[in-house]
Chain A
Amino acid sequence: MHFSSRLTKMTEFGEGNKPASYKRIVLKNASEYHYLKIHLEFQEADFSLNAVEFKQLIISALKRLHGEVGAALLVDVLTYEEETLSAVLRVPNVGLAKLWSALTLFGSYQNRKCAFRVIQTSPFLLALAGNSRELVLD
């Protein structure tokens, strides 16, 4: 705050009548959500799920590991692609580890072997636009 006020004063001297104001704001844990980009992998290629079934699957995964309390976690499916079975999820910060571990330990759906691959996680949705895991591209 001291810093910002000094800056304003300096510009006042410089420009005269038109004070340009600067403000330095430091935010800690600005985002209250975490975003996950995930991809569901099945052994068989031909397997389709609609968005509702996909959400149901995530809730059942949470319920299997963390019980009713885990199933009550606020998880939103922001985007879902039916062809590639990939989605972007939003979850409150406190529930990230819970959701992630539930997805990790999810091994089968309707007696078919499957696996969740978490491609990226970030507190900011914009960061999911680039891929941080394969930064060294050739």
Chain B
Amino acid sequence: MAEFVDLNIPHLAEKASLQKLVEAAAHLGYSTVAINYVVDYDEKKKEIVKPLSPKELFTALPLVQGKSKPIKILSRLTLVVSDPSHCNILRSTSTNIKFYDIFAVFPKSGKLFHVACTTLDVDIVCINVTEKLPFYIKRPSVNVAIDRGIYFELIYVPAIKDSTMRRYTVSNALSLMQICRGKNIILSSAAEKPLQLRGPYDVANLGWLFGLSESNAKAAVSTNGRAVLLHGEARKTASGVVYTKKKTRATEEDETTPVSKKAKTAL
């Protein structure tokens, strides 16, 4: 059985609350979580911070319910794009970007949605669920995205918080389902508090509300999340070539280059 994945745990400023959130996710049965770092260009905060490593966050990783294995913590970068120039950062070799496992974009207009689906080198395209969709989702761009293995993300916590947002969540989700027919969807939380998190089976059932079939809904919290991780991995390494090196001695890891980048130079 595929493991459950929640790819959107927002990065909180206080370490203690982030710890609580990850612990709650592990308790509910998520095997993998991704901590989400949002970069918004409209706000004047342009630098991309280095993601927190799991070692900094926990001395001992919390165990997943029913698995007795520690939870896996990844990092994810979300770019809120309202102008095509904002995407340059993904193409260029900018600082700190190599530390992230998954890239996501949050397109603000229909043109950018098309660009994100067809040309941008990302893993996830976020769908806005807090307001009415400002553009129509078109079939050609979605078809290309499905072929390229890009997934669409729907978040469910706004639906818990507020009843008007719940309406937008359901209507936007249904309009997306009409186009993509339940393929390439991931459901994730974006929960800021442990109480806003829901168990993976609950979220899979919520997929029914968004117009997914039973099997697609379960895939949206498990196998599709894994596919996103693998897509990210293939992008990080040289188009899927993985080269691992066994260390002879346990030396101190240098933090400047991740293991995947070192592999590239060795090829």
Interface residues of chain A, those whose CB is within 8 Å of chain B, are 41, 43, 64-65, 97, 100-101, 103-107, 113-115, 117-118, 121, 133-136, 138
Residue interface mask B54-70, A partner, CB < 8 A = 1: 00000000000111100
Contacts of A121 in B (CB 8 A): 201
Contacts of B195 in A (CB 8 A): 41, 43, 107, 113-115
Contact of A64 among B156, B163, B205 (CB under 8 A): B163
The reply to whether A136 and B202 contact each other, CB–CB distance below 8 Å, is no
Contacts of B160 in A (CB 8 A): 104-107
Q: Is B159 an interface residue (CB 8 A)?
A: yes
Contacts of A135 in B (CB 8 A): 66
Task: State the CA gap A103–B202 with chains docked (Å).
Answer: 9
Contacts of A106 in B (CB 8 A): 160
The reply to whether A133 and B66 contact each other, CB–CB distance below 8 Å, is yes
The reply to whether A107 and B196 contact each other, CB–CB distance below 8 Å, is yes
The reply to whether A104 and B67 contact each other, CB–CB distance below 8 Å, is no
The reply to whether B65 and A100 contact each other, CB–CB distance below 8 Å, is no
The range of chain B's interface size is 20 to 34
Contacts of B208 in A (CB 8 A): 97, 101
Task: State the CA gap A103–B203 with chains docked (Å).
Answer: 11
The reply to whether A105 and B201 contact each other, CB–CB distance below 8 Å, is no
Q: Is B249 an interface residue (CB 8 A)?
A: no
Task: State the CA gap A97–B28 with chains docked (Å).
Answer: 20
Contact of A100 among B68, B193, B197, B205 (CB under 8 A): B205
Task: State the CA gap A103–B198 with chains docked (Å).
Answer: 10
Which 4 A-B residue pairings sit nearest by Cβ, starting from the closest? A107-B160, A104-B202, A100-B205, A134-B66
Q: Is B166 an interface residue (CB 8 A)?
A: yes
The reply to whether A118 and B161 contact each other, CB–CB distance below 8 Å, is no
Q: Name which residue of chain B comes closest to A134, CB basis.
A: B66
Q: Name which residue of chain A comes closest to B28, CB basis.
A: A117
Q: Name which residue of chain A comes closest to B201, CB basis.
A: A118
Minimum distance in angstroms from A132 CB to a CB of chain B: 9
Interface residues of chain B, those whose CB is within 8 Å of chain A, are 28-29, 65-68, 156, 159-161, 163, 166, 193, 195-199, 201-203, 205-206, 208-209
Contact of A101 among B29, B68, B161, B206 (CB under 8 A): B206
The reply to whether A136 and B66 contact each other, CB–CB distance below 8 Å, is yes
Q: Are A101 and B205 CB-contacts (below 8 A) given A64-B163, A107-B161? A: yes
Minimum distance in angstroms from A110 CB to a CB of chain B: 15
Minimum distance in angstroms from B152 CB to a CB of chain A: 20
Contacts of A113 in B (CB 8 A): 193, 195-196
Q: Name which residue of chain B comes closest to A114, CB basis.
A: B195
The reply to whether B68 and A136 contact each other, CB–CB distance below 8 Å, is yes
Task: State the CA gap A41–B197 with chains docked (Å).
Answer: 12
Contacts of B206 in A (CB 8 A): 101, 104-105
Task: State the CA gap A92–B24 with chains docked (Å).
Answer: 31
Task: State the CA gap A24–B89 with chains docked (Å).
Answer: 67
Task: State the CA gap A134–B156 with chains docked (Å).
Answer: 25
The reply to whether A104 and B66 contact each other, CB–CB distance below 8 Å, is no
* A and B contact pairs by CB, cutoff 8 A, 21 listed: A64-B163, A65-B166, A65-B209, A97-B205, A101-B208, A101-B209, A103-B202, A104-B202, A104-B203, A105-B206, A106-B160, A107-B161, A107-B195, A113-B195, A115-B198, A121-B201, A133-B66, A134-B65, A134-B66, A136-B67, A138-B68
Minimum distance in angstroms from B204 CB to a CB of chain A: 10
